[in-house]
Amino acid sequence: MPVGSDSPPIATRSAGTFSLAELVGDLGGELIGAADAVMTRIGPLDSADAQTLSFLAHPKYRRQLELTRAGCVILSPDAASGLEGRCGIVTPNPYLYFALATQWWARRIRPSHSAGIHPTAFIAPGALVAPSATVYAFSCVEAGAVIGDGAAVGPYAHVGEGARVGEGTRIGSHVTLGYGCTVGRFGLIHAGVVIGADGFGFAPTGGADSRWEKIEQLGAVRIGDHVEIGANTCIDRGALDDTVIEEGVKLDNLIQIGHNVHIGAHTAMAGCAGVAGSARIGAHCTVGGGAIVLGHLTVADHVHISAASVVMRSITKPGQYSGVFPLDDNVSWEKNAATLRQLHGLRSRLMAIEKKLN
């Protein structure tokens, strides 16, 4: 059994403390109260104690401020009067400050992994692994693949022939990065993600007894910088050209991205969403959980699709779009659903009455 130092690509938390002065010294903001107050944790207002740094995202939740026992609260200038003697960090965008504080805290409490290749890993001849990169237990980097500076390849990750992992990008456990596919810099690919499986492409042979003839998928997947991809999400390689995920895109877990899809920069999609082949989604969009975008459609920039909605036509104007059957008790639903199947007929009957009355 091989023995060696081993830590996960996403390193563990551990105990630690910080003073408010240290935090504000690094991240800015106006500190109200004792600079030497010591915090042990970042937490929500309702479960906070005197050593917890918390945050008030919106002034409308101000009521929570009265009730919390948090040692310090990050809040906006117009909520600062509610501190009433508590410590606070005043900043124009408390939620953003909170995000940066979690990053600052994580860097302090998580042990930094040391660069190097685990003795159980397999690096094929002709693969290029930067000396500052970390390759974890049982991972496999194939010929022609390149692992960039400071990147991490998680346990059981398979980096295919000629694939590229950019600087600082962390690849989780059991990830498949298919041959010839590329991931940009400072990305985070969670466990079980499959990048570069074949797109779903077949030509029918025709007739009543038609079979499916495979269309070999000759493209790859190209992923930009600062992209995060959630666990077990799949991004297929293109049929002829490449599938493209632009910079700053955030994908949640169990999402399906079909071949030749193009997702614009800084778009975010929640879990279980699916985008069918050749759809083109704009930049700065959001797609809710379980939503489906059909193939070959175009969705404009700044479009927001509600959870579980189905996009069946292209969307050319920014805005929020929805299409979900409202939940009801089962008996009411059955009645309304049955009537819905007659809806077009009801409309005709209504029109007949209108005609009669006019």
Residues 220-279 that bind a second copy (CB under 8 A): 226, 228, 230-232, 234, 236, 239-241, 248, 250, 252-254, 256, 258, 266, 268, 270-272, 274, 276
> Which parts of 303-322 interact with a second copy (CB under 8 A)?
305-313, 319-322
Dihedral-angle region of residue 244 (phi above 0 means left; psi in -120 to 50 means alpha; beta otherwise): beta
DSSP code at position 13: P
Pick from 33, 215, 225, 298: which binds a second copy (CB under 8 A)? 215
Dihedral-angle region of residue 98 (phi above 0 means left; psi in -120 to 50 means alpha; beta otherwise): alpha
Query: Catalytic positions, please?
Result: 259
* Angle at CA of residue 246, ends 245 and 248, nearest 5°: 110
Structure tokens at 304: 């927001």
For a second copy, give the closer residue by CB, 84 or 329: 329
Pick from 49, 78, 149, 213: which binds a second copy (CB under 8 A)? 213
Signed CA dihedral, 199, 205, 207, 210: sign only: negative
For a second copy, give the closer residue by CB, 62 or 284: 284
For a second copy, give the closer residue by CB, 21 or 294: 294
Helix (H, G, I), strand (E, B) or coil at 225: coil
Structure tokens at 165: 């992992």
CA-closest candidate to residue 234, choices 251, 214, 216 = 251
Between 74 and 113, how does the x/- string for binding to a second copy read (CB under 8 A)?
-------------------x-xx-xxx-xx-xx-------
Cα(180)–Cα(146) distance, integer angstroms: 10
For a second copy, give the closer residue by CB, 2 or 81: 2
- Give me the least distance between CB of 82 and a second copy, in Å please: 21
Judged by CB under 8 A, the number of residues near a second copy is 147
> Which parts of 112-141 interact with a second copy (CB under 8 A)?
117, 119-125, 137-138, 140
In sequence order, the β-bridge partners of residue 82 are none
Pick from 86, 164, 185, 190: which binds a second copy (CB under 8 A)? 190
Task: Decide: is 17 part of the binding site for a second copy (CB under 8 A).
Answer: no
